[in-house]
Chain A
Amino acid sequence: MELTKDERKRRMSIPRHKMPEQDPVARGRNFQEVNNGYTPELAMAEAERCLQCGKPRCVQGCPVNVQIPQFIAAIAAGDFMAAAHVLHEDNALPAVCGRVCPQEEQCEQLCVLGAKGDSVAIGHLERFAADYERERGALELPQKPTPTGKRIAILGAGPSGLTAAGDLLKAGHDVTIFEALHVAGGVLMYGIPEFRLPKKIVQAEIEYLKKLGATIETNAVVGRTYTIDELFANGYHAVYVANGAGLPKFMRIPGENLNGVYSANEYLTRSNLMKAYDFPNYDTPIARGKNVAVFGGGNVAMDAVRTALRLGAENAYLIYRRSEAEMPARKEEVHHAKEEGIQFHLLTNPTRILGDDKGRVIGVECLHMELGAPDESGRRSPIPVEGSEFVLDVDTVVVAIGTGANPLLTQTTPDLKLNKWGYIVADEVTGQTSKPGVFAGGDIVRGAATVILAMGDGRRAAAAIHQYVMSLPA
């Protein structure tokens, strides 16, 4: 329904509602969620800002094309359950996406209000509706589809695999998800910390998929426990490979094997998945460094450095070789990190990690950098400033400079075409790989990217898989 001119004007005059959050000093010492979420009143007030565009651009910015104006209209009307149901039609993990999507680069970037002021807080509203529904334990299941008799194996229970599973289940297929770790969720469980994404929320969204009919087999390391060919031999009609880019990269500088040097994957896995922050109630230990340096400038580096602080670090340093403008991390995370007291060493590159005679880290030698002229890709490369070496006294180092393709699966599937970095070559739209019946998406195709892009791949691949299996002889 078209809004009147006056009504549009009124809505545009409402300022964006900030989400309440924990006090920065207090939260820097606990693992509880930083953001507290909207109250119903705040959510309704924020939802009123939406202009209900006839041709909503925000939807185009969402990789899974959530019907944004519809769910926001339901919130504005106070029907929060209806809002949640609209979300669930397109998004298997709305409480996750509302928290971790970089909305400022996606739906919210395209919101018309953003041109002159602040866009509608779509992410906050998504989170509110999903939380409201979950907290009332009233997850409503869609009508049971007619079974197709087709069996689909999904390799990896991360965001991409879970999204594909949701869509395939709704189409009536029999879906089994194989997961190497002991819980489903992938990076949502081992990578993103509790203070950004509480694990019980992830598990609740996975429970929803189980209610839809998904079978999840944990401790199943595809490539080792089963190969893709064995899955086909066992009666699966199609396979979706979404096992991520889990192989950590190191700097290849001296001292990297000293005790106290972690990959971000190890550090975060210990803390998030194994709950080492609660040692010795949980058995997995972790170094509680007094002075911790994290290398890198992405979201993983932010997560690691903020984790270090919560584990009790007196000084938590972020060391990044470019300037803040080039940081790939979300602005919100950088802002939160600064508020909590993370110390940024920008335009700084680690060159050597120093250790004592017991093989323990005692410091990191760094060089100052300056930005050179932009290269062909338009990015300004950092150049070392000669003679600018300095040593930072640290006892723990976390390397968060990215990940590569894990070869475990691809080694045992020789007919799967890979690119020169070891990622699977797959059609951009359908996810079809070089192997018939095998589709792939998420980080194992793109390299390390975002949760929502992986989910978008899962959604498109599910559509292609549906088409493929329905074309097979019965």
Chain B
Amino acid sequence: MPTIIQKRMLSPNVGWLEVEVPQIAKKRKAGQFVILRIDEQGERIPLTIADSNPEKGTITLICQSIGKTSTQLNSLQTGDTIRDIAGPLGQPSHLENFGTAVCVGGGVGIAVTYPIAKALKELGNTVISILGARTKDLLILEDEMRSASNEVRIATDDGSYGVKGFVTDQLKALIQERPVHFVLAIGPTIMMKAVSNVTREFGIKTMVSLNSIMIDGTGMCGGCRVTVGGRAKFVCVDGPEFDGHQVDFDELMLRQRMYLTEEKQSLDQFHQCQLDAQLSK
């Protein structure tokens, strides 16, 4: 069973886990993800592989506590095991030397941007990263992103760090300053939609990494389907990266809300269980 060999919190809600899964560490390329299940009663959730160390046989996962499973995962400690991890899944990022490549990362999406920024830089791109978060405490992996980029710009919604405002304002300013050849946007769906709308005007190739609901992650159920260029695509096998100018983001956002009620019920029950466990100690 995959063992967590190192764990820390990057921010109050974002966990960083280094997990031993040699066969995935060996095979994984930037842009790919895993599906994991914590225990026998668990659900299967997708998480992008933020980094890997083939020699050590480990992969790094970054997880934001949103619902039951992510909260439970972030409650695990060094030495704990995860029941199932399958992968690497999805298509690797299609990367080349574009010239100037801008990586826009929002919130926990920065973790997904990181391996791709690193790979883009290794290919000789001038990498400019624009990192966005609601507030300073939620900004993660700044040092890593600096090492993977030629330049980093930061925006926070409340202005507590970097420039006050959205990543799209930063992106617009950048595009007016200098030629941009490629944009990668990863973060909340609404952010990826906004970035794609900005770059569409300028005709800049833009890739986004979609985070639809998944179950198996191997193409057998279609739960993750999205409309891209008017056609149904499966995020788990055809993606997760797609041309941002072709994605039906509104449909994706509606689909992501499918189980809101159940997700809340599940999280509430988990919190209650944790509370009971603490009280009985």
Residues of A within 8 A of B (CB): 180-182, 218-221, 224-226, 246-248, 250, 252, 256-257, 259-260, 262-263, 265-266, 269-270, 274-275, 279-285, 287, 358-359, 406-408
Contact = CB atoms under 8 A, between A and B. Distances in A.
Contact of A265 (B83, B220, B237, B258): B220
Contacts of B68: 283
B262 A182 contact: no
B7 interface: no
A248 B220 contact: yes
B232 A257 contact: yes
Contact of A224 (B88, B257, B258, B266): B88
B278 interface: no
B26 to A, nearest CB: 9
Given A224-B89, A247-B220, A280 B269 contact: yes
Given A182-B84, A274-B43, A246 B218 contact: yes
Contact of A269 (B69, B85, B215, B232): B215
B87 interface: yes
Nearest to B253: A359
A266 B215 contact: yes
A425 to B, nearest CB: 21
Interface stretch (B145-153, B167-175, B221-229): B221-229
Contact of B87 (A224, A260, A265, A280): A224
Contacts of B54: none
A280 B254 contact: no
A225 B88 contact: yes
A247 B233 CA distance: 12
Contacts of A265: 220-222
A29 B255 CA distance: 29
Contact of B215 (A180, A257, A274, A279): A274
Contact of B251 (A257, A283, A287, A358): A257
B24 interface: yes
B219 A284 contact: no
Given A224-B88, A280-B262, A407 B222 contact: no
Most buried by A among B24, B254, B255: B254
Given A181-B216, A257-B227, A225 B87 contact: yes
Nearest to A357: B254
B179 interface: no
Given A221-B87, A259-B255, A250 B262 contact: no
B41 interface: yes
Nearest to B234: A247
A219 B257 CA distance: 28
Interface in B7-49: 23-24, 27, 37, 41-44
Nearest to A256: B232
Contact of A259 (B220, B232, B254): B254
B188 to A, nearest CB: 18
B88 A248 contact: no
Nearest to B231: A252
B215 A219 contact: no
Nearest to B32: A224
Contacts of A247: 219-220
B262 A285 contact: yes
Most buried by A among B216, B220, B221, B265: B220
Contacts of B219: 246-247, 406-408
Contacts of A262: 223
Given A218-B84, A219-B85, A224-B89, A180 B222 contact: no
A246 B216 CA distance: 11
Interface string B65-108: 00011000000000000011111110000000000000000000
Nearest to A275: B41
Given A224-B89, A270-B215, A279 B262 contact: yes
Contact of A225 (B27, B220, B258): B27
B43 A283 contact: yes
Interface size band for B? 35 or more
Contact of B41 (A263, A282, A406): A282
B243 interface: no
A223 B88 CA distance: 10
Contacts of A226: 23, 27
B222 A263 contact: yes
A403 B89 CA distance: 21
Q: Which 6 A-B pairs have the closest CB atoms?
A: A359-B254, A246-B220, A285-B262, A266-B221, A283-B43, A219-B86
A408 B218 contact: yes
Nearest to B39: A283
A183 B258 CA distance: 26
Contacts of B88: 224-225
26 contacts: A181-B216, A181-B218, A218-B84, A220-B23, A221-B89, A225-B23, A226-B23, A246-B220, A250-B232, A257-B227, A260-B258, A262-B223, A266-B222, A269-B215, A269-B220, A279-B262, A279-B266, A280-B265, A281-B41, A282-B43, A283-B266, A285-B262, A359-B251, A359-B255, A406-B220, A408-B237
Given A259-B257, A266-B222, A180 B237 contact: no
A418 to B, nearest CB: 16
Contacts of B157: none
A359 B85 CA distance: 32
Contacts of B254: 259, 358-359
A246 B83 CA distance: 24
Nearest to B72: A283
Given A226-B23, A269-B215, 17 more contacts: A181-B216, A220-B23, A224-B88, A225-B23, A225-B88, A248-B221, A250-B232, A252-B232, A257-B225, A259-B258, A266-B215, A275-B41, A279-B266, A358-B254, A359-B254, A359-B255, A408-B219
B190 to A, nearest CB: 15
B59 to A, nearest CB: 12
A279 B88 CA distance: 28
Interface string B209-220: 000000110111
A224 B251 contact: no
A283 B69 CA distance: 8
A257 B85 CA distance: 28
A171 to B, nearest CB: 28
B264 to A, nearest CB: 10
A284 B222 contact: no
A285 B265 CA distance: 10
A269 B216 contact: yes
A248 B222 contact: yes
A292 B85 CA distance: 33
Contacts of B258: 259-260, 287
Nearest to B252: A257
Nearest to B86: A219
Most buried by B among A182, A260, A274: A182
